Amino acid sequence: MAEQLTITELLAKNPVVTAPMAGLTDRAFREILREMGAGLIYTEMVSDMALCYNNHKTLEMLPAAAEQGPLVVQLCGSAPETMAQAAQIVEQLLGPAGAGNVVMLDINMGCPAPKIVKNGEGCRLMQQPELAERLVAAVVGAVRLPVSVKLRLGWDAENRNVLPLAERLVQAGASAVAIHGRTREQFYAGQADWQLIAEAAARLPAPVIGNGDIASVQQAADRMAETGCAGLMVGRGLLGNPWLARDMARHFAGLPPLPAPSRAEICRLACRHLRRQMELLGEYMAVRVMRSHLPFYLKGLPGAAAMRGRLNGLNDAAAVEQALREFFGE
C-alpha cells in the first residue's frame, strides 16, 4: 500500500515525474523507471470509453495490483460522464479501495494527435474551457483520488491560454497541473518555452509540474531553479536513458552523482527490458514493442542506424539479445 501522502508531499520528497508516453510507458518500462528512483510515474493515456466498455486490451494497460506506486493513471476522453465512470473503475481497482498503488488520476488535455483532437479530446479541450472545467469537476466529484490535468501552453501562438485555464481547473478541483511548454500547433517542434510554466508555478495554488525537453540533470536543475515548479516531468529524455531519472532524483535529494552507465550496463538493461516484456506480453509482442525502445538504447553509438535495421528484421528474442551483445561488444 502506498503511503498516504498528498501530491505536494510526494513531489517534495521526489520531484522527478515521468511523462505519459503512449506505446512506451507500459509496465515493463515503468518498472525500470521505478527502480531508477523516479517519483510519480504516469501511465500512458487510457481511453475512458474503452474502460467503460470493459475492453480487455485497455484494462490490461492499467497497472497491475502488484506494480509498485506511486503511479498516476492518465485518462483520455471528452465527456464528463464517461470520464467520471472511467475514473471510478480505476479507483476501485487501484485506488484507496483497491491496490492503492495509484495515487492520482490525470486528465489528458495536451495530446496534439489529429485522431485525438478530432474526437474533442486531448488538447482540443484547451479550446473549450467550459467543457474542460465540467470534466474536471465531474471526475473530482466521482472519486476520492486527487485529479491532475496535463496541459500545453494553448492551441497555438495566438491562444496561449494555459494560465487562465489552469486557474479555472484548479478552482474546479484539480490538485496538480502538469504543463508541457509547447502549443498544440507546435506538436514537438522547436524548443519548449518555460516562461508561462514559471508564471503558473508562481500563481497557482496547486503544485505545477513543468515539462518539456529536459535531457540532463543540469537542465533539470536549471528549470527547477528558474521556475520554482513543484515537480519536473521528463518524457523523451528517459528513452534509452532511464538513468536520467536516477541522476535527477539523486541531485534533488542532495546525493553525489554516479558515473554514467557503461556500454555493458546499457546492454544488460536493454536485454533485461526485453526479457521483462516477454514475461508480460509473450515473445511475439515483446520483440515488436521493443522495436520502439531499443533504438534509444543505441542512440549516439557508432553503427546504431545499421543495427536498428537489423533489429527490425529479427523476430525471436534470443536473436535480438545476441545482436545487442554483439553490438555492445559483450
Ligand X SMILES: Cc1cc2nc3c(=O)[nH]c(=O)nc-3n(C[C@H](O)[C@H](O)[C@H](O)COP(=O)(O)O)c2cc1C
Closest separation between CB of residue 191 and ligand X, Å? 10
Question: Binding residues for ligand X, how many (CB under 6 A)?
Answer: 21
Question: In degrees to the nearest 10, what's the CA dihedral of 71, 77, 82, 88?
Answer: 0
Q: Is 111 a catalytic residue?
A: yes
**From the candidates 52, 111, 229, 271, which is the catalytic residue?**
111
Q: How far apart, in whole angstroms, are the C-alpha atoms of residue 291 and residue 304?
A: 13
**Amino acid in position 74:** Q
Query: Cβ closer to ligand X: 190 or 257?
Result: 190
Cβ proximity to ligand X, 16 vs 79, nearer residue: 16
Nearest to 145 by CA among 200, 78, 86: 86
Nearest Cα neighbor of 286 from 255, 262, 311 is 311
Check residue 15 for interaction with ligand X (CB under 6 A): no
Q: How far is the CB of 103 from ligand X (least distance, A)?
A: 17
Q: Are 178 and 17 in contact (CB under 8 A)?
A: yes
Rounded CA gap, 267 and 284, in Å? 21
User: Rule CB under 6 A: is residue 236 a binding residue for ligand X?
Assistant: yes
Q: Buried b / exposed e across 302-327, counting CB within 10 Å, b at 16+?
A: eeeeebeeebeebeebeebbebbeeb
CB of 162 to ligand X, least distance (A): 13
**What string marks each residue from 31 to 60 as x (binds ligand X by CB under 6 A) or -?**
-------------xx---------------
In the complex with ligand X, the residue whose CB is nearer, 63 or 328, is 63
Least separation in angstroms between residue 1's CB and ligand X is 27
Where on the chain is the footprint of ligand X (CB under 6 A)? 19-22, 24, 44-45, 74, 108, 110-111, 150, 180, 211-214, 234-237
Positions annotated as catalytic residues are: 111
